[in-house]
Amino acid sequence: MIRGIYINSIFPGLSINIIGWLALGLSVFYDVLAFENIKITNKRIDVLPALITFLICLISLSRSNIICAFLLLGGVLLYIFKNYSILKKAVFLIGVFLLLSLTVYLSYDFLESSLQRFDERGFESTERSLFLNSYIEKLNLNSFLFGITSEQYPFFLLNGNFHNSFLGGHSSFGILFVVFLLFIIQLIIRKTFTAFFLVILALVLLIRSFTDTIMFIGDFDFIFFVLLYRIKKS
């Protein structure tokens, strides 16, 4: 940022979303490990990874990343706050506010572009809407049971990438993936109050999965399965 290098130029030729979802995945994984180590080390979860992830997502201009990073940061803050005194909460909030204000000041042009993109396009994506609608239209008894191959129009337009982890999961596993989703839904509903923080982390990955192929099968499957195990164990 100081040298004026655009963050999405780190991986030239790849999607502008990759920086944000890499940061999200790593931050969620850190929080899972930190949560597990609290009983051993008696330390609190550090807000810095979630805060850095939120700032990275803001600068990278990815709409879905920004939403998920905001949810992640909110979940971490809620978890930290529940054990803080009123004075510590006030000092902590002031520190976060000052850091965010400094970042907004340093990267105002980037953030302005991001807000313009939200204003112009909202949450719509032509490619993702086309893929989702086409997948639904192609569903019948056979394809519902066994999945829909990506080697047909319009999915082959982007090399078979559905840009939706749920479509990719159903394409690969068919009815078994539907059963797996039902298991996830009931587990999250059942454990919302007893494992609130872990459920928030799982929701971050699930929401992000709706707009890119990052799970089922993707880079973050191992993180998500660790999360499911910890949620069920709790």
Alpha-carbon distance 139 to 206, whole Å?
A: 22
pLDDT surpasses 80 at 9: no
Determine contact, residues 74/203, Cβ cutoff 8 Å. Answer: no
Q: Where are the domains of the chain?
A: 1-121, 126-234
| 181-206 average pLDDT score | 91
| 204-217 average pLDDT score | 87
Chain mean pLDDT for the chain? 80
9-13, 88-92, 101-105, 174-178: least confident range: 9-13
| 73-97 average pLDDT score | 79
| 166-195 average pLDDT score | 90
Determine contact, residues 35/50, Cβ cutoff 8 Å. Answer: no
Decide: residue 173, CB within 10 A, 0-12 exposed, 13-18 middle, 19+ buried: middle
HSE value, Cβ hemisphere, 13 Å, CA-based, for 6:
11
pLDDT surpasses 90 at 101: no
Residue-by-residue DSSP string for 134-156: HHHHT--HHHHHH---SSSTTGG
pLDDT surpasses 70 at 107: no
Read off the pLDDT of residues 110-126 as tens digits, 9 standing for 90 and up: 666 656 655 555 555 66
